[in-house]
Structure 1
């Protein structure tokens, strides 16, 4: 038995329920296996997998370069693994390792992003308040961005919760937790390595997601636990003038993504921290779709919404949007997707068989139909549509061993 297989077996044994009460929280499908196969007509299996370490580290964030040839996986230890992806073969190969932050207190990654169109420059955001720039062709970090207090500005927290870079790689925006009744959006100029400014009046809770539009480098969407999604034109230095639109989800915003509808209009989607899905036209403000947690649970043909886990919303090559969802029951073995077909309708799409973990983040390459997932068992998985001999065998799972143990809470 390989070290990685032994690790997975030990983790599974540790997580077995030790009381009848815990067994009672079990979950099951709402239809037979034959009905599932008929409904979810696309079947996916793991084509390649790699474990990031033997230290029970979570994969919290995934990012791909524009060509989908290089993958960055950010961990709960604040380390980052870089992989080369042979998209044609669906295989991962270790390329580089960015060590964890040297900090006396526990620090985790709050985001990883490739800076530009190429596969070399990677930004890593960590909860100690820094965004670090690495050039994978060189040794060590190349720049470090952290907010410096300006006179007349309210105190800014020393930690950040999320970040993104804009479409041309010139600007970084970081979101912070609420601090002294203020939540901050911090801006940096990447090329000049300088602090640009701050927005601090548009959110009243921890900022949980910031997402620049991929084609329009000046368009920014932000979300917060206050339930608001704000759309900004960051060309404007004044926050009131920069604010273009606001949507109230009446929930707590967890994750934002940009999409296009059939009329080429910009859509912003939101996964809430309560497992609901909502989307809006960013300019007109009309609601495009809204699905409660219980409805999406039914759509993936599971019984208990309490175990439900809505992970990501992805763009398809034909312009459609699908939701990746699963359950937290039994190490997250259930992983399925449904397509958004109308404002109030979801259609079963794909079933992902052989999942070994609760998934925390995912990437989708619409041109090749590849899905990548990372999660709480520290595994990065490449999923491909099922064909004969396509699934990965257990003796080929890989793991990168670390010499130093860094056990800590994954948050």
Structure 2
């Protein structure tokens, strides 16, 4: 796909479906994390999983955001949700309760089919996790504790006991871990200590595995792989900056200062949701928003500048917390503090989706109010560094 065609598609991205995860409650249930099965694997039967602030996971069809099922089992805040890559019927969730649970979406999902805990049971608070591209490795990051420090733990997904862990590379809460989409041995980790670490987990010791340390100079919000053949690393921070580095030489490719300074008026921005990369365009794209729920698509047009592409309106009314992007289908799903899931796709698909909506109309959400305002510290413990609509947070590896 050419860059010109990609830009045209993004310019016509529009809201096609929305679904509320909370309708009757006096306070809204935040959507904290979402993930989607890929169209390349599941086609039109792809599912979306969304985690709520009340420790539940809900499953929806991605084509219409029709509700399918819910999962309960975690006793504390869920910090991540991921479909397996090779066996997408398996869904993994991590939590501050010190467990990662695997659910088989082909079953009634009353019980997890696997439960992974740390070396000393469920004493670790898992703040993030990811699964390797071949579904063989599971990795989690933990919150920092006064007596134990912070850890990056690994499992073979076929066994409940950990393979081992890293303990020297970060010294504060790990906010993100991210495997390379095609190389099972390459891993990124990001932390509130401002560091992004690049690992080759095939090495026997943590010192040998650590390939490079990148400094964002602020608490890390999101990390990922980008560029041609995913040869670069991106990072966004809680002070709304964007960084891109080469993954091998570790040279800076892009450094964007606070995006809130660059866009005002109708294009006003209060926060970055996340980044993604469309097929046919190797430049990083950024989804950002404001506290009224308006979203804007931006593109890294130069090493220190983001250009405005288009706006996505009509979906959310409060802060948007999460994004999942399917590059092949050119479909985005967003979730926010207003309890809404929203589906966005290029306009040429609108007619078919509208027919589905008329046959199966979604109930309009009732009016709901925000959670009580939290302090920055309380909010970070609640949702691992994400913003409320009122605030923005200015052992070696043996396997």
TM-score bracket, normalised by the shorter chain, equals: 0.7 to 0.9
Q: CA shift at 1:252, angstroms?
A: 1.2
Per the alignment, do residues 174 and 265 of structure 1 end up closer, same or farther by CA in structure 2, a change over 3 Å counting?
closer
Equivalent-residue separation in structure 1 for 2:125 and 2:10 (angstroms)? 44
Q: Does 1:57 align with 2:24?
A: no
2:120 — aligned with what? 149
Listed as ranges, the gaps of 5+ residues in structure 1 are 1-38, 151-155, 402-406
Change (3 A) 1:119 1:297: farther
Name the residue aligned to 2:286. Answer: 323
What are the Cα deviations for residues 108-152 of structure 1, in whole angstroms up to 9, with x where unaligned? 2100001233431000111111100001112421010010239xx
1:190-235: CA deviation from partner (whole Å, max 9, x where unpaired):
1123211010001011111100001000100001111111011111
1:280 maps to 2:248: no
Deviation at 1:288, TM superposition (A): 0.8
Given the alignment of the two structures, is residue 190 of structure 1 paired with residue 153 of structure 2, yes or no? no
How far residue 299 of structure 1 moved from its aligned partner, in angstroms, is 4.3
Match of 1:245 in 2: 212
Superposed displacement of residue 353, structure 1: 1.6
The equivalent residue for 1:29 is: none
CA RMSD for the aligned pairs? 2.9
Flag the 1:278–1:217 CA change in 2: closer, same or farther, 3 A. same
The aligned residue for residue 330 of structure 2 is: 369
Q: Deviations over 1:256-309 (max 9, x none)?
A: 011123xx4611100101111111011101101011114x552476576xx611
Q: Specify the SS of the correspondent of 1:240.
A: helix
Quick one: distance in 2 between partners of 1:75 and 1:133?
17
Per the alignment, do residues 299 and 96 of structure 1 end up closer, same or farther by CA in structure 2, a change over 3 Å counting?
same
Q: Distance in 2 between matches of 1:265 and 1:64?
A: 20
Counterpart in 1 of 2:133?
167
Unpaired stretches in structure 2, ≥5 consecutive residues? 1-7, 367-371, 384-399
Counterpart-to-counterpart distance in 2, 1:323 and 1:313 = 4
Instruction: Tell me if structure 1 keeps the 8 A contact 2:174–2:192.
Output: yes
Larger Rg: 1
The one of 42, 46, 49 aligned to 1:72: 49
Q: Secondary structure at the match of 2:271?
A: strand
Who is 1:108 aligned against? 77
Q: TM-score, normalised by structure 2?
A: 0.80
Deviation of 1:179 after TM superposition, in Å, equals 1.3
Q: Give distance in 2, aligned partners of 1:99 and 1:171.
A: 24
Aligned residues: 347
Aligned 8 A contact 1:96 1:136 in 2: no
Establish whether residue 308 from structure 1 lines up as the match of residue 270 from structure 2. yes
Partner of 1:226 in structure 2?
193
Identify the residue that residue 71 of structure 2 maps to in structure 1: 98
